[in-house]
Amino acid sequence: MVNKTVSKKIIKRLKTQYRISTPLRFTNIYQLCVAVVLSAQTTDNQVNKVTPLLFKTYPDFYSLAKAPIKDVENIIKSTGFYHNKAKHIVALARTIVDKFNGVVPHTRQELMSLPGVGRKSANVILAFGFGVPAIPVDTHVARVAYRIGYTDSKKPIAIEMALEENIPQSDWITAHLLFIYHGRAVCSARKPLCSSCPIISYCCFENKNL
């Protein structure tokens, strides 16, 4: 299993491999919250295709809170599961307006009380909206962390705890992005490119493609 010493080497190696940036495009906390909810079970690129029109039509929580569900569905349809997503983002806007006076809450518990926001999404908002150290565990982060050997559990909460235990808090947000980039570029779900993996010497994955 990966310990703090090995983890430090892994993060250092990945930092030299990838030039990271936030995959979702947003310019304020409102846009981030909505984009995060839309990103469920689809790609960030697909979300980025629909948000310009969505944010132009509904530029803030107040306008989105009053939006007709059907109109929102038509804009976000290509992201998949658009019926539920439209309901969620409109309900989220209404909740923030009515319960939080239009201001996004900045604790994980309060964020998770918002429609469409689970623990991973709450961590994304904390990390990229407020700069609060957090490690959101999506499918890429979970796969990479499990394969490398940070944990022998596939449960997101266990993976999150293992990563937080072995990675310095100052690197939590960066590590989240690094694992996403690595999961997309090399450590894919079906055919990982193990022979070109920059951290293969630290990896505990049993089914390596060498």
Taking the CA atoms of residue 207, residue 137, residue 80 and residue 126 in that order, the dihedral angle to the nearest 10 degrees is -160
Residue 49 annotated among the catalytic residues of the structure: no
Sequence-separated (6 or more) residues with CB below 8 Å from residue 70? none
Task: Name the active-site residue from 4, 56, 71, 120.
Answer: 120
Residue 44 annotated among the catalytic residues of the structure: no
**SS3 sequence, the chain?**
CCCHHHHHHHHHHHHHHCCCCCCCCCCCHHHHHHHHHHCCCCCHHHHHHHHHHHHHHCCCHHHHHCCCHHHHHHHHHHHCCHHHHHHHHHHHHHHHHHHHCCCCCCCHHHHCCCCCCCHHHHHHHHHHHHCCCCCCCCHHHHHHHHHHCCCCCCCHHHHHHHHHHHCCHHHHHHHHHHHHHHHHHCCCCCCCCHHHCCCHHHCCCCCCCC
The two three-digit tokens of residue 56, written as one number:
């132009």
Task: Name the active-site residue from 44, 138, 152, 208.
Answer: 138
Question: What are the catalytic residues?
Answer: 120, 138
